[in-house]
Amino acid sequence: MNSPRQSLTLNLLQARDVAMGFFRPSLNEHGLTEQQWRVIRILSQQGELETNRLADLACILKPSLTGVLSRMEEARLISRRKRDSDQRCVLVRLDDAGMQCFNTMSERMEQNYQRLQARLGEQKLQTLLGLLNDLKAVKP
């Protein structure tokens, strides 16, 4: 009898936990959740986005994103507005405090990437990122 194949999904989850161990302390120091940081990072790179698109890019379920955005709006990290042409469509953008948070956190996150790369090796990290991008491109 053949032994069962290694679980790809379980390995990905376990690897994510290890990777987040390098980044989570910085998020905690700044009082940010992983979801909030993903929103800040994406909005800093993409600019103003419609909430459905933001949810997809940040890998956050749309109902969960509503709560994340509410807390971020209370903290004055983001602003929301309705699209003029379609009042059902909500657009989100970083406020000045959100951009300042991104700038501050970016330096720290780069240091964390450098620590991870020092442990894993530059070539292995680049190979891993390439393989993950390949996997993301595969459609069921």
Q: In terms of Cα–Cα distance, which of 57, 30, 33 is closest to 43?
A: 57
Instruction: Report helix angle 62-74 to 34-46, nearest 10.
Output: 80
The pLDDT of residue 1: 62
Q: In terms of Cα–Cα distance, which of 40, 31, 34 is closest to 22?
A: 34
Q: In terms of Cα–Cα distance, which of 47, 137, 29, 26 is closest to 95?
A: 47
Query: Which residue ranges of the chain lie beneath pLDDT 70?
Result: 1
The pLDDT of residue 53: 96
pLDDT digits (tens, 9 = 90+) for 3-36: 788 999 999 999 999 999 999 999 999 999 999 9
* Topology of domain 20-135, CATH: Arc Repressor Mutant, subunit A (1.10.10)
Give, in degrees to the nearest 5, the angle at Cα 63 between 62 and 69: 80
Q: Whole-prediction pTM value?
A: 0.88
